[in-house]
Amino acid sequence: MAKIGIIGAGGWGCALAWLLHNNGNQVTVWSALKEEIHMLKECHEQKDKLPGVILQEDMEFTVSLAEAILNKDVLVMAVASPYIRSIAARVSHYVKKGQKIVNVSKGIEESTLMTLSQAIEQEIPQADVAVLSGPSHAEEVGKGIPTTIVVGSKNKETAEYLQNLFMSNVFRVYISSDVNGIELGAALKNVVALAAGMADGLGYGDNTKAALITRGIAEIARLGISMGGRIETFYGLTGIGDLIVTCASMHSRNRRAGILIGKGATMEEAMEEVKMVVEGVYSAKAGYALAQKYGVNMPIIEQVNKILFEGKPAADAVSELMLRDKKVENIDLRQLYQNSVEIPW
C-alpha cells in the first residue's frame, strides 16, 4: 500500500483518487477551496465536476498542503494548467528529495513555453517528476469504464513503479520515456478539439471532423519531433488516441466550448457556459508561439488563435484552411525517424 496525496480536487483529481484508493492505497485529497473540501467531507462526491462518483468513506480531504504532502510516497498534481507553477511553488516547501510527483494536468505554460512537468521541475527540483496522460475522461474513469493510458518518466524504475500503482483490471497503463512528446500531444490536442467543436457548432459533419483530427495530429507531430519528441508517441495513446476522444466526446470541455464558439459565442462566453477551465484556450497561444519558434507550419493552431483572440469568424477560418495552397499529404517518415531522438531506456 502506498500513501498518495492528490493535489487538486477537480473531476480528474477525484477520479484518480477513486481509482488509486480502489487499488488499495491510502489517499488524501487537497484543495485550496474550503467549500470544496467541506463538500467532499460531507458528501464524498465532487458534485460540481464529477457527479455520480462516490468517493470512499476512509478517504481523507484537507486544505492543508502539509497534511497532503508530508510522509506521502507519491503526489499527483491535478491542478488546472494556469495554476501549476504557483501551486508547485507552494508544494515545494514540503517535498523531500526524490519524492515522486505525477503531473496529470495538460497544457503549456504561456509565459515560458515550458511543458507543465518542466515548470514543476523548475519549482521543485528535488522531486522525481513523471507524467500520466492518454484518452481518459474523468467521468468514465470514475465509473470503472475500461481505459488505457501512459506513464512517462525519464527514469525506467519510476515509470514501472507508477505503472504498478495505477494499473487495475479497468485501467491499463503503458510506460514511455518520451515525456516531452507525451505532454505536447496532451496540450495541443485540446486546441484541435476546440476546432472540432467549432466545426460541430457550424453544422459541419463527420468528414470535417476526420480531416481536423488527421491533419491536427500531423501538425502536433511536426512540432513535437522538432522539439525532440518521438514520432511513435504522436501516433499512440497520448497523441492520436487522446485527440480522437477529445474531439469526439461531449465529456470534452474543449469540444463543448468550441461548439458554442462555432454557434457565435465569444471565447469568454463559451468558457463561462462550460463552467470549467478550458485548457485549449490557454494552450493555443503557447502552441502557436512554439510553432513560430521552431519554424513549424501549423495552420489549424494558427486559425484557432485568430478565432479566439482576433475575433475571426469560425466559418471564415474553415474557408481559409480549405483554400490553402495544394500540398502533398505525407512527408517521408524515414526523415522524421532520422530526426527523432534516441530512446534512453
Instruction: Please enumerate in sequence order all residues whose Cβ is within 8 A of that of 264, keeping only pairs 6 or more positions apart, or say none.
Output: none
User: Per the residue annotation, which of 189, 263, 306, 312 is the catalytic one?
Assistant: 189
Specify whether the CB–CB gap between 138 and 106 falls below 8 A: no
The DSSP code sequence of 311-328 is ---HHHHHHHHHTSPP--
Cα 284 to Cα 83: distance, rounded to the nearest angstrom: 16
Kindly report the number of other CB atoms within 10 A of residue 142's CB atom: 23
The angle formed by the CA atoms of residues 246, 252 and 256, to the nearest 5 degrees, is 115
Kindly report the number of other CB atoms within 10 A of residue 62's CB atom: 17
**What are the strands of the beta sheet with 171-176, ordered from one edge?**
60-62, 26-30, 3-7, 74-77, 100-103, 128-133, 147-152, 171-176
Length of the chain: 345
189 catalytic? Reply is yes
Cα 258 to Cα 217: distance, rounded to the nearest angstrom: 18
Kindly report the number of other CB atoms within 10 A of residue 268's CB atom: 10
128-133 and 100-103 beta bridge pairing: parallel
Which residues on adjacent β-strands are paired with residue 61?
29
Specify whether the CB–CB gap between 42 and 57 falls below 8 A: no
Distances, alpha carbon 72 to alpha carbons 8, 41, 87, 118, 301, in Å: 15, 20, 17, 22, 39
Cα 202 to Cα 205: distance, rounded to the nearest angstrom: 9
- The residues that are catalytic are 189
